[in-house]
Chain A
Amino acid sequence: MTFLKITDLAVEFTVNKKTVKPISGVSFEMKSGEVLGVVGETGSGKSLTAQAIMGLTPLVGGRVSGSIQFGDHDLLTLSNDQMQSIRGAEISYIPQNPMTSLDPVFRVGDQIIEGIRKHHKISKKQAKEQTLEMMAKLRIPSPERVYMQYPHQLSGGLKQRIVIAIGLITDPKLLIADEPTTALDVTVQAQIMHLFKEQLIVKGISLLLITHDLGVVAQVCDKVAVMYAGNIVEYGDIDVIFSNPKHPYTQALLACIPSMGMEKGSLAAISGNVPNAGNYPLGCRFHPRCPHIKPQCKTEVPLMQDVSNGTWTACHKYE
């Protein structure tokens, strides 16, 4: 059952009399219980997309257009107050970099409680109980002790678990996590993603996972949206897209990730650089770097096409 439907989401900024549109035409949907990965490199607009859904885009000279259908409401039509009541309760957000998203002057237990008590009328004692329970589920050792500690006393892995606890504890319908494991060691990353996924399934929470790490997406997500230069270029079922990517960018991206046992000298690089928001090429934004370019690509923007098995791609090759 679709509970999140994003149509033609676009964000525009006007700075110093110049207007840039970092993301545009972003459309996708999520069913409940699903894990959707939004994957892309720096400058692809994935973080901005998450912020736009949360209503947290930088306000100075920024305009968000399109529609974000969440349950019965279009989030873009809601007032700030209405968004405030949804944030944390129905849609939770785990921002990048747990090092800076935890307040250094408060104990971590208090920070988790703050989240619950803002949206649920329960006593402090009950909130604490729920918190300790959640911490145990996330395999935090000695939860009672960690509860009383300050962020700087915790390792990166523990901090990340606290931040995840804050995201999960209010039982939101949708959790948006922005690079939740980027700064962590490989073995810790595996632990955390495992526990995280466990909790999502148990509580029936859908996850919108923003990341640049294709490996994490492949192992954790059901669907994926690949973003490049502010557009979604490929979208659909994980198994299909990763085993048989259609868009040249997705193909190139998968080919440039080193893997164990890969033949030496076979790492393919993508020539050129990611364009920045002020300088998007005309037509297909990937055309200057695409090995399959046709004359049409330089002038016409490709639209998303259904290319089989529930996947879509925006490329002139498939029209």
Chain B
Amino acid sequence: MREPVHQSAWVVIFRRFSGNKMGVFGTVLILGLVFTAAFAPFLEPHSFKDQNIELMNAAPSQTHLLGTDEFGRDLLSRIIRGARISFVVGVLSVAISVVIGVFIGAIAGFYGGTVDVVLTTIADLTWSMPAILVALLLVAIIGPGLESVVLAIGLSYWAEFARLIRGQILSLKNATFIEATRTLGASDAVILFKHLIPNCISPIIVAATIGVGNAIVLEATLGFLGMGAQPPTPSWGAMMSSGTAYLFISPWVIIFPGIAMMLTVLGFNLFGDALIDILDVKNNDSAK
């Protein structure tokens, strides 16, 4: 009798992942973001709120390593705090999108027919509506702020996940083990939540990871347009926005938040790309 070699899936993924240099780099960047966000109050050399009019638009110096903004607030501290905003907004909005998207997409794919047509149409309509418009609408209703931004992104981005999982479920729902579970008397809910969705989740994880990067950019865009975090809350987008007026005087006010954002998005994208490679390989490898 052949001995089955049992290697936990996570061990296999971890081992493969550590071989992928880009992915490791991406992870490092993300961890950097998380660390900064978590320990912001301890990391910032000054308070992000402290204004110091005398030092406004000061160039990088020893006291203010990255310079100051137009209110004399320390840029480095604001960027560090901004990490929190970016991270929270990014993760929360994608979480909302994933929950809505997976639920709707799974139901559309599973039941098919009219239900599918209706839900897919709604998804397509949502997808074609730019998040900016949705944000404007929300701002009009509940006022500007991070809540509007998170909701706006969450409510317009879910269509991507819905489409992804719908496709997966369409192809998997006729698999033999699904039929077997149905024959045992399982309800639709059990089949959907215990068998179909878990087996379709890999592409969702990958898309979600890359989505966090997109959400952060989107938040910056909305912030740039003045719809996101309100002062004095430091959002990288808002910082860049107010900094445009001083582009030729103190360009660092735009450059440094921009670099921070670039590194963050890069980190998520590299991580997501590495995940794609690895999850594919694992699937191919584990088939005997």
Contacts and interface: CB of A to CB of B under 8 A. Distances in A.
Tell whether any CB of A sits under 8 Å from a CB of B in the complex. Answer: yes
Interface of A: 272-273, 275-276, 279
B2 interface: yes
Q: Which 4 A-B pairs have the closest CB atoms?
A: A273-B2, A273-B1, A279-B2, A272-B1
Interface of chain A: mostly helix, strand, loop or mixed: loop
A15 B1 CA distance: 24
Contacts of A273: 1-2
A187 B126 CA distance: 54
Contacts of A276: 2
A258 B41 CA distance: 77
Contacts of A275: 2
A275 B3 CA distance: 11
Contacts, number: 6
Interface of B: 1-2
Nearest to A272: B1
Contacts of A279: 2
Contacts of A272: 1
Nearest to A274: B2
A110 B225 CA distance: 60
A213 to B, nearest CB: 23
Nearest to B3: A279
A279 B2 CA distance: 9
A184 to B, nearest CB: 22
Contacts of B2: 273, 275-276, 279
Nearest to B288: A276
A285 to B, nearest CB: 14
A278 to B, nearest CB: 10
Contacts of B1: 272-273
Nearest to A276: B2
A204 to B, nearest CB: 41
A276 B3 CA distance: 12
Nearest to A279: B2
A139 B1 CA distance: 48
A302 to B, nearest CB: 24
A134 B2 CA distance: 48
Nearest to A275: B2
